[in-house]
Amino acid sequence: MSPMRSCSNRRVVVGIDGSTCSIAALNWAADWAALTASTVEAIATWEWPTSYGVALFLPSDYDPAADAETMLRDVVKVAQETHPDVVFRPLVVEGHPAPVLIKASRGADLLTVGSRGHGEFTGMLIGSVSEHCTAHAHCPVLVIRDHA
**pLDDT, tens digit only, all 148 positions of the chain:** 444 444 458 999 999 999 999 999 999 999 999 999 999 999 999 987 666 667 667 677 778 899 999 999 999 999 999 999 999 999 999 999 999 999 999 999 999 999 875 544 444 444 688 888 889 999 999 999 876 5
CA nearest neighbour of 112 among 94, 80, 139, 75: 139
What is the predicted pLDDT for the residue at 4? 42
Instruction: Determine the Cα–Cα distance for residues 66 and 48; give it in Å rounded to an integer.
Output: 12
d(CA 112, CA 110): 6
pLDDT given at position 103: 97
Dist CA 53 CA 87 (whole Å): 45
Give the separation between CA 5 and CA 90, rounded to whole angstroms. Answer: 17
Q: Tell me the three state secondary structure of residue 29.
A: helix
pLDDT at 64: 82
pTM of the model: 0.82
Q: Which helix (H) or strand (E) holds 101?
A: helix 97-104
Q: Hey, what's the torsion of the CAs at 10, 13, 14, 17, to 10 degrees?
A: 140
39-46 and 110-114 beta bridge pairing = unpaired
Report the pLDDT value the prediction gives residue 58, as an integer from 0 to 100. Answer: 67
Give the per-residue pLDDT at 9.
Answer: 86
CATH number of this structure's domain 3-48+67-144, picked from the four choices 3.40.50.10880, 3.40.50.620, 3.10.450.50, 3.10.20.30? 3.40.50.620
Ordered by start, the domain boundaries in the chain are 3-48+67-144
Which pLDDT value is given to residue 1?
Answer: 41
pLDDT score for 96: 92
Q: Which residues contact 143 (CB under 8 A, 6 or more apart)?
A: 112, 113, 114, 115, 126, 130, 133, 134
